[in-house]
Amino acid sequence: MRAFLEFPCNFPLYSQHLDSRRKMNKTTTIVLALLVSLGVAIISLGLFYPSTKVAAETTALPERALGDPKAPITITEYSSLTCSHCADFYVKVMPELQKRYIDTGKVRFVYRDFPMDGIGLKGAALAHCMPAEQFFPYIKIVYANQTSWIRTDKPDVTLTQYAQMAGLPADKAKACLDDTKLLDALVAVRTEATDKFDIKATPTFIFSDNETKLVGARSIDDFAVVIDKILAKKK
């Protein structure tokens, strides 16, 4: 069983993405300093590039959720496409959770990305480029086949092929992977999860009672105990 990864462990491509942003900011800072020394009005030239947190430059991601928005319970999952326990959840637990609680209007299930590495980041980007109705079918395919594609030499290529099979044209898939704003937005979701909710491992499930958090490999019985307890309190 694979151990939990806590960021920034084994995060090469993710780190490269952030490093490119930092290098851009550093280069711009040097240029601005030179311009100031020459007495150039930087702002009037429109050259200002803020060296603030990445989150300040991101585009908000649309929410991806299953179930009735008016359901009495909301479960928010933080997940990574390269996380083995996350894959186990979607293969072994999610079908029953959806049958018992989501499809019956008792639970609304919200998915949020917490990419643990560069491949997870790319896979998340592809998922968010899918039409909304194809988001969950795509990630379910990715999780169901994780043990196969994660061992390939180029797992990102396989993820792109899955996206194309799900209806995302090749040119749009490439544009998606090159979309800096989208990648930044995904990084921002992870950063917010860490800073605000102390998320350190995947999968993590937060319940809307603001009291319960399930982390790691869990069975349907674990979810049933929590859900039934919350529902009983609402009666």
pLDDT tens profile 123-176: 999 999 999 999 999 999 999 999 999 999 999 899 999 999 988 999 999 999
Confidence grade of residue 38 (pLDDT, cut at 50, 70, 90): very low
Are 198 and 163 found together in one domain?
Answer: yes
Percent of the chain past pLDDT 70, that is, above it, reads 75
Are 24 and 132 found together in one domain?
Answer: no
pTM of the entire predicted model: 0.76
Are 114 and 207 found together in one domain?
Answer: yes
Confidence grade of residue 14 (pLDDT, cut at 50, 70, 90): very low
**What average pLDDT score do residues 101-113 get?**
97
Are 118 and 192 found together in one domain?
Answer: yes
Are 183 and 74 found together in one domain?
Answer: yes
pLDDT in tens, 46-77: 322 232 333 333 347 999 999 999 999 999 99
Residues 6+ away with beta carbon under 8 Å from 38? none
Strands of 64-66's sheet in order across: 64-66, 107-113, 73-79, 204-207, 213-215
Crossing angle of helices 155-165/135-144, nearest 10°?
Answer: 140
Q: Domain total for the chain?
A: 2
Are 213 and 120 found together in one domain?
Answer: yes
Does residue 57 fall inside a structural domain? Answer: no
DSSP the chain: -PPPP-TTTT-HHHHHHHHHHHHHHHHHHHHHHHHHHTT--HHHHT-----S-GGGGPPPPPPEEES-TT-SEEEEEEE-TT-HHHHHIIIIIHHHHIIIIITTTSEEEEEEE---SHHHHHHHHHHHHS-GGGHHHHHHHHHHTHHHHTTSS-HHHHHHHHHHHTT--HHHHHHHHT-HHHHHHHHHHHHHHHHHH---SSSEEEETTSS-EEESS--HHHHHHHHHHHHHHH-
Are 44 and 120 found together in one domain?
Answer: no
Does residue 22 fall inside a structural domain? Answer: yes
Does residue 5 fall inside a structural domain? Answer: no
Cβ count within 10 A of residue 42: 13
Residues 6+ away with beta carbon under 8 Å from 6? 200, 201
CA angle 204, 210, 216 (to 5 degrees): 15
21-30, 146-155, 221-230: least confident range: 21-30
In the predicted model, what is the mean pLDDT of the chain?
A: 80
Are 69 and 139 found together in one domain?
Answer: yes
CATH of the domain at 179: 3.40.30.10
Amino acid, single-letter form, for residue 32:
L
Residue 136: alpha-carbon gap to chain centroid: 13
CA distance 230 to 235: 9
Does residue 3 fall inside a structural domain? Answer: no
Q: Residue 38's domain spans which residues?
A: 12-51
pLDDT at position 39 over 60: no
